[in-house]
């Protein structure tokens, strides 16, 4: 889940809706897709821009913690797999910015908001990747948590977002398997490798749980987004599903989930588990995570250092166009 704490707009009881809004809601209720040129409430459009934009930014910033290990990947094959994965993520960013553009916001405007801090990216990417098993843990846990949210979003009401999700999910589930494969090698490797794997799980477990956002009782924006089918499941539902899926995988690896209260609850058919430390979550959102400054700083630097490159390409395109026009006049 790369969209957290998305502020949703326009929650209205049906009695206060305009006829257009009622017709729109009925289309969504019937499971129809909303396409870019069709009428939509302003709140729907704005909320989607925030959500898709945050998701896109997360893909882009998400290149950094994994990119941190590309030059140090332990084998040529692992290096190639990691490069391909990070390339996929940049590609996801591209589809998502394109999906957002259909709502009338340019990629440059969204990047401007990322760079000035007015739009966020997922809190998870503000955590460091400290050993090689972290690359496994990111694939297994972070992509695993993202998939929990993104699989239902394939059915989201906005056509371009839904179609982007369908493509993204195929690649993400592949990434998750690759991450788990790294964890298997590490967990069954030397004592040092196993220690790295356990250390990675210890550090990424709670930040992964935070990816689903605050508990439903504290999540003020969910109801409208769910009515619009921009959000399909509640935060707590997805978090529970993630824990239920992941705990047996950790057991299979012979690793210990760092939660002494973790326990199977027969009655509810799922695990009871400890909440993450939400004060840490809000600290990270506020910019005080271990890597916030580095991550955003790296993106801003890349953008600023690249200004001459982008300007150069634009200038060349203009010159080439002018030359074509001049040649056409000369020929006539």
Displacement of CA 102 from its chain's centroid (Å): 19
Distance, CA of 54 to CA of 124 (rounded, Å): 13
Distance, CA of 18 to CA of 97 (rounded, Å): 31
Distance, CA of 146 to CA of 138 (rounded, Å): 10
Task: For residue 149, count CB atoms less than 10 angstroms from its CB and return exposed for 0-12, middle for 13-18, buried for 19 or more.
Answer: buried
Q: Percentage helix, strand, coil, to 5, in the chain?
A: 70, 0, 30
Minimum CB distance to other proteins, residue 229 (Å): 28
Structure tokens at 3: 């969209």
Q: How far is CA 257 from CA 173, 244, 277, in A?
A: 22, 12, 16
> Which region among 4-12, 13-21, 168-176, 189-197 touches other proteins (by CB under 8 A)?
189-197
Closest CA to 186 of 103, 120, 253, 240: 253
Using CB under 8 A as the binding rule, the residues of this chain from 143 to 182 that contact other proteins are: 182
**DSSP annotation string for 26-41:** HHHHTTPPB-TTS---
Closest CA to 110 of 96, 124, 123, 122: 96
Residue 193 contacts other proteins per CB under 8 A: yes
> Which region among 5-13, 58-66, 140-148, 224-232 touches other proteins (by CB under 8 A)?
58-66
Minimum CB distance to other proteins, residue 93 (Å): 6
> Which region among 81-89, 212-220, 238-246, 278-286 touches other proteins (by CB under 8 A)?
81-89
- Closer of 103 and 196 to other proteins (Cβ): 196
Residue 221 contacts other proteins per CB under 8 A: no
Residue 63 contacts other proteins per CB under 8 A: yes
Residue from 307, 329, 330, 331 that binds other proteins (CB under 8 A)? Answer: 307
Residue from 319, 321, 325, 327 that binds other proteins (CB under 8 A)? Answer: 319
Using CB under 8 A as the binding rule, the residues of this chain from 285 to 304 that contact other proteins are: 298-299, 301-303
Residue 139 contacts other proteins per CB under 8 A: no
Distance, CA of 40 to CA of 50 (rounded, Å): 15
- Closer of 94 and 151 to other proteins (Cβ): 94
- Contact between 180 and 249 under an 8 Å Cβ cutoff? The reply is yes
- Closer of 309 and 331 to other proteins (Cβ): 309
Residues near other proteins (CB under 8 A), total: 52
- Contact between 119 and 113 under an 8 Å Cβ cutoff? The reply is yes
Distance, CA of 149 to CA of 24 (rounded, Å): 24
Between 249 and 288, how does the x/- string for binding to other proteins read (CB under 8 A)? Answer: ----------------------------------------
**End-to-end CA distance of the chain, in Å?**
58
- Closer of 223 and 300 to other proteins (Cβ): 300
- Closer of 83 and 166 to other proteins (Cβ): 83
- Closer of 118 and 190 to other proteins (Cβ): 190
Between 86 and 105, how does the x/- string for binding to other proteins read (CB under 8 A)? Answer: xx--xx-xx--x--------
**DSSP annotation string for 244-304:** HHHHHHHHHHT---S-TT-EEETTTTEEE-PPP-HHHHHHIIIIISTTHHHHHHHHHHHHH
Residue 79 contacts other proteins per CB under 8 A: yes
Residue 115 contacts other proteins per CB under 8 A: no
Residue 112 contacts other proteins per CB under 8 A: no
Task: Give contact residues for other proteins (rule: CB under 8 A).
Answer: 60, 63-64, 67, 70-80, 83-84, 86-87, 90-91, 93-94, 97, 107, 132, 182, 185-186, 189-190, 192-193, 298-299, 301-303, 305-317, 319
């Amino acid at each position: 889940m790369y969209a957290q704490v998305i502020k949703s707009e326009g929650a209205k009881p049906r009695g206060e809706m305009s006829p257009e809004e009622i017709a729109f809601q009925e289309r969504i209720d019937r499971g129809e897709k909303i396409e870019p040129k069709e009428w939509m409430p302003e709140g729907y459009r704005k909320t989607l821009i925030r959500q898709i934009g945050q998701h896109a930014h997360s893909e882009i910033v998400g290149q950094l913690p994994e990119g941190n290990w590309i030059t140090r990947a332990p084998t040529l094959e692992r290096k190639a797999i990691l490069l391909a994965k990070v390339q996929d993520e940049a590609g996801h960013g591209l589809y998502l910015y394109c999906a957002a553009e259909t709502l009338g916001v340019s990629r440059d405007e969204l990047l401007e908001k990322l760079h000035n801090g007015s739009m966020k990216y997922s809190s998870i990417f503000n955590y460091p990747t400290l050993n090689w098993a972290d690359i496994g843990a990111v694939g297994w846990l972070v992509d695993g948590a993202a998939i929990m949210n993104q699989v239902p979003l394939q059915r989201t009401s906005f056509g371009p977002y839904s179609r982007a999700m369908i493509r993204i999910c195929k690649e993400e589930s592949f990434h998750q398997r690759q991450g788990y494969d790294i964890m298997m090698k590490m967990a069954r490797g030397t004592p040092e490798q196993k220690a790295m794997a356990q250390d990675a799980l210890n550090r990424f477990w709670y930040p992964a749980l935070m990816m689903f956002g605050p508990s439903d009782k504290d999540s003020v924006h969910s109801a409208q987004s769910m009515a619009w089918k921009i959000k399909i499941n509640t935060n707590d539902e997805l978090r529970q599903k993630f824990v239920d899926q992941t705990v047996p995988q950790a057991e299979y690896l012979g690793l210990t989930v760092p939660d002494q209260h973790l326990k199977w609850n027969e009655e509810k058919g799922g695990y009871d588990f400890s909440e993450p430390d939400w004060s840490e979550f809000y600290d990270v959102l506020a910019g005080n995570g271990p890597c916030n400054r580095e991550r955003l700083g790296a993106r801003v630097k890349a953008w600023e250092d690249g200004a001459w490159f982008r300007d150069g390409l634009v200038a060349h395109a203009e010159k080439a166009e002018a030359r074509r026009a001049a040649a056409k006049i000369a020929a006539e």
